[in-house]
C-alpha cells in the first residue's frame, strides 16, 4: 500500500470505527513528515471519543496504526485529533512549560514533571527557544520524567 493508499485507508478505517459509536463524520486526512494526520470534527460525542486523559483517543490511534502495519502500508504512524483537542492541549502544555522555565530561571532550582511522551515533546520543543535552559527525560515507561534545568547546571 503506497502513501496515498495508506492515507485513504486510514481515513476510511477511522470513519468506519466512528460509525460504531453512532457518529457519521467526514474525517479530514493529510500527511506531514510521514505521519498520517486525521482530523475529526466536533460532535456531540467528543468527550466519549477523547476519553479520560485522552485514553480513547490514543486507543483509536493505536488501532488505526496497527491495522496499517498489518497491511504493510508505506505509512503507519497516525495522529488523530478530535475537535482540536490535541492542538488546544499542546497550547496549554506549552504555556505551562513557559511558567516552569521562568520558575527555573528565577530560582535556579530544577523542575521535574511527570508527563506523557507527547507532552514531554512539547516541553522539549518550547525549551529549545531558551539558550539558558536544558531539558532531559529519564526513566522508563510510565515512570519517565522530564527535568527542566539551567544549562549551566
Per-residue pLDDT tens over the stretch 42-75: 888 888 889 888 888 889 999 999 999 898 888 7
- Cβ(150)–Cβ(105) under 8 Å? yes
Separation CA 141–CA 139 (nearest Å): 7
- Cβ(86)–Cβ(61) under 8 Å? no
Q: Give the neighbor-by-neighbor strand order of the sheet with 111-113.
A: 111-113, 145-150, 133-138
Q: Does domain 3-83 have CATH number 3.30.70.20?
A: no
pLDDT tens, position by position, 4-23: 888 899 999 999 988 888 88
Q: Which residue, 107, 90, 75, 96, is CA-closest to 8?
A: 75
Burial of 133 per CB tally in 10 Å (0-12, 13-18, 19+): buried
Task: Over range 129-141, report the average pLDDT.
Answer: 88
Is residue 153 predicted with pLDDT exceeding 70? no
User: In whole numbers, what is the pLDDT of the chain averaged over residues?
Assistant: 88
Separation CA 7–CA 2 (nearest Å): 9
Q: Does domain 88-150 have CATH number 3.30.1370.50?
A: yes
pLDDT confidence band for 143 (50 / 70 / 90): confident
Parts of the chain belonging to CATH 3.30.300.20: 3-83
pLDDT tens, position by position, 20-37: 888 888 888 988 888 899
Is residue 114 predicted with pLDDT exceeding 80? yes
Parts of the chain belonging to CATH 3.30.1370.50: 88-150
Is residue 142 predicted with pLDDT exceeding 80? no
Separation CA 120–CA 97 (nearest Å): 10
- Backbone φ and ψ for 88, nearest 5 degrees, come out as -65, -40
| Per-residue confidence (pLDDT) for residue 35, from 0 to 100 | 86
Amino acid at each position: 500500500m503506497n502513501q496515498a493508499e495508506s492515507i485513504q485507508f486510514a481515513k476510511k478505517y477511522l470513519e468506519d470505527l466512528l460509525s460504531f459509536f453512532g457518529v457519521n463524520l467526514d474525517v479530514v486526512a493529510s500527511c506531514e513528515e510521514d505521519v498520517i494526520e486525521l482530523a475529526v470534527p466536533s460532535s456531540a460525542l467528543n468527550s466519549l471519543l477523547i476519553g479520560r486523559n485522552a485514553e480513547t483517543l490514543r486507543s483509536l490511534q493505536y488501532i488505526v496504526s496497527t491495522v496499517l502495519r498489518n497491511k504493510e502500508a508505506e505509512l503507519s504512524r497516525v495522529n488523530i485529533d478530535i475537535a482540536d483537542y490535541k492542538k488546544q492541549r499542546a497550547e496549554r502544555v506549552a504555556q505551562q512549560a513557559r511558567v516552569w522555565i521562568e520558575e527555573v530561571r528565577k530560582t535556579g532550582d530544577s523542575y521535574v514533571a511527570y508527563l506523557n511522551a507527547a507532552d514531554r515533546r512539547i516541553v522539549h520543543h518550547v525549551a529549545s527557544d531558551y539558550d539558558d535552559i536544558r531539558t532531559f527525560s529519564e526513566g522508563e515507561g510510565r515512570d519517565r520524567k522530564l527535568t527542566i534545568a539551567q544549562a549551566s547546571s
